Structure formats: C-alpha cells, structure tokens
Amino acid sequence: MNSKKINFLMNKIKKIGILTSGGDCGGLNAAIRSIFFRAKRKYGMEVFGIRDGTIGLVKRPVDVEKLTHETFKGYLLRQGGTFLGSNNKGNSFKFPKNGKVIDTSELIIQGYKSLKLDGLIIIGGDGSMQILKRLADKGKMNIVAIPKTIDNDVGATENSIGFHTAVDVATQALDNLQSTAASHRRSMILEVMGRDAGHIALNAGIAGGADVILIPEIKYSINGVIKKLNEMKKNKIQHSLIIVAEAVKKEDGSKVMHKYMDGEKRLGGIGDYIASEIMKKTDIECRVTTLGHVQRGAPPTANDRILASAFGVYAVDLLANKKFNRMVAWNNRRVVDVAIDEGIKTYRNVKRDDPLVETALSLGTYLGEIR
C-alpha cells in the first residue's frame, strides 16, 4: 500500500455536519435524512445537525444535535420546512443585531472548529452558498453544497430542492380558483413567489390552465391582458385565470413592494395592481389571491423528495472522497457536481427560447408582448 493511500485512510472523513440556510422549502428534511443514512450506512460517519443555519455556530455552546436513526422515525420525510431550523436574516459578515451590523464570521469558524468536524454539507440557495463559500475560504472549512430554492434560479442546476413543491401548490391554487371564477364570472388573479425568476408562474400557469401568465422576464401591457380577456368573452367564456410572479413590475417599470411591521420592504402587491388596472378600464370583476409562504411550507412532492434524496447521497460521497467546495446539481437526468463558484456564477431565469414559453404561447396563453 503506497503512502498516499495510507494517508488518505488515516485521515478519512469521520464526522460531518449539516445545516440549512436561507428560506425554507419542501424537501429539506428528505435531504437531511438522505445525508444521514448514506453517511452512516456506507461510511460509518457521525452526523451532526446544526440548528438555525449559521446562527447555531455563533451560539455558545454551539447549538447542535447528534443525528441518530431515532431522529428519522415518523413523518420527517413527509414534512415541509426543516426540522433543524434555518435563517435568512442577513449576511454573516454583516449580521443585524440589536440595531447594529456585526461581523459574525470568526464566531462561525470557531464554532465549526470546536465541533472538530471533518466536513460540512450546506443546503441553501445562491445567496447562502456565496456567503458560506466565503466563510469556508476564510476558515479553511471543508464544505459541499446542495442547492435548494423554490425560485429554481441557481444557474448550474436544472432543478433545485423545493421548486416542484412550490409549483404544485400554485397549480392546486389555480385548480381551486377555477370553480369560483366560473361561479361568479370573474377574473381570478393569483400572485406567486419566485423573486426575479418566473419559473413558478410559468410552470404552474401551464399546469393550471391559466389564461394569462405574467413573469418578470417578459414585458406585458394591461391592454394586452384586457385584449386576451375580451377575446375569451367573444368565445362565451366569462371567467379567467391570471397568474403573476411577484417581481413583475408596473407598466411604468416600477417595482411593487410591501412594507412590513419590521420595517423591511419585500416584493408583493403586483396582483392588486393588475386587478385595479383591469377594473379601471373594463367591467371585468377581479379578485386577487396571494399565496405567500404556503408555497414554502407544504409537504414536499414526490419529485422533491427524490431529488433531495439523490442530492444527499451524492453530497456525502463528495465529502468522503475529499472533493470539497463542490455543489451538487441535476443535469440531463443525473446528479453531477460543479465548483460552488461556478454553480452560482449565473442566474437562471426564464429565457425567451425556453420550450415552456413556446408551450404557453401555443396554448393561446397571453404571456406578454412577444413578437
């Protein structure tokens, strides 16, 4: 046996951590479960769950739970959210606390080292991965990343954990709104999440039979929307379904934001704007439903459970083989890995040549001023 192989075996990965960071979504518990079983059954590793994202590493003592088979009995696989907790409040290098902004990076690195971990699997979106990669570089932490986001906007992967569940929730909402729209001959407007990417609205709009799909990537006009609704009336269809992504702007190009009690401004309210503009110019009665966080907290679909399980297995294998600073991804019906920096370098939004754009147009859906 050569010296390199002896050294590898002597320094093999024995103890790993998991944390979930950023907004929650369906499939996170399935990923954690998969990581545990792969790590335990194939490699005999100890696995620790860090609570509330990087906040768990800031706390003293570090807020951590040793995961066992007992942890995963019952319904965890089927539950939305993350039983470890998460955090999406700010950057670890500029963390808001007591009205001030502090750098918690050293505390996080010290917390990681105090656990004597050989590696850390982070489950997060592009923002979380960017911050944690920076922390890993600073503190020489061995990390592997799993992409999760309902927005499906991480550039290097075709699908992220949570996206399918969000689409399913939005589709079910359109199914439910269809009957009430028909009963009252109304236009029902559904506002969905997605940040600056229109994937949820486009996918759910097609699946749920929306007559109008508005996404941030394609310019629209209120007159264009009204023209579509009037065409439906001519065909004796007196009701309609409109789905709109939260980051769609007003016709003048301004964003619609909602100010919350904590003082933060977040995307929200474009559905009300669309309804108001339609009713100003027509006799069409509109009602608005904003889905909000039900898209995050729903039980994960089969697709998200499967994707999360496949990602978890692959991530553990990367750590076991000491392939650090890698992100798992789903491409061409298989799990692959890329450098984290490469994985988050590009933003994945809806492109004009996306096959689903052509699908929606072929169904007669108004998707904006496309020529």
pLDDT in tens, 325-366: 999 999 999 999 999 999 999 999 999 999 999 999 999 999
Q: Each residue of 30-70: pLDDT tens digit? A: 999 999 999 999 999 999 999 999 999 999 999 999 999 99
In this predicted structure, what is the pLDDT of residue 327?
97
**Domain boundaries of the chain, sorted by first residue:** 3-161+301-343, 164-294+352-362
Hey, what are 44's tokens?
């005999």
Residue 96, pLDDT score = 78
Q: What is the pLDDT of residue 1?
A: 54
Q: In the 8-state DSSP scheme, what is residue 256?
A: P
Binning pLDDT at 50, 70 and 90, where does residue 6 land?
very low
Give yes or no for a cis peptide into 299 (omega within 30° of 0).
Answer: no
Q: What class does CATH assign to 164-294+352-362?
A: alpha beta
Active site residues: 151
Nearest to 152 by CA among 211, 220, 204, 189: 204
Question: Which of these, 344, 354, 363, lies nearest to 218 by C-alpha position?
Answer: 354
| Residue 209 pLDDT greater than 90, yes or no | yes
Q: 């954690």: which residue's tokens? A: 32
> Which is more confident, 298 or 90?
298
From the list 139, 66, 141, the residue with the least C-alpha distance to 104 is 139
**pLDDT tens column, 121-161:** 999 999 999 999 999 999 999 999 999 999 999 999 999 99
> What SS3 class is residue 278?
helix
Residue 317 sits at the vertex; the CA angle it makes with 334 and 18, to the nearest 5 degrees, is 105
Q: Which CATH class is domain 3-161+301-343?
A: alpha beta
The pLDDT value recorded for residue 326 is 97
Q: Which of 162, 125, 104 is nearest to 22 (CA)?
A: 125
Give me the percent of the chain exceeding a pLDDT of 70.
96
> Full-prediction pTM beyond 0.85?
yes
Mean pLDDT, the chain, integer: 93
For residues 300 and 81, what is the distance between their CA atoms, to the nearest angstrom? Answer: 9
Residue 170 predicted with pLDDT over 70: yes
CA distances (Å), 216 to each of 23, 70, 86, in order? 21, 45, 28
* pLDDT tens for each residue of 247-293: 999 999 999 988 777 777 888 899 999 999 999 999 999 999 999 89
pLDDT of residue 259: 78
User: One fold for both 3-161+301-343 and 164-294+352-362?
Assistant: yes
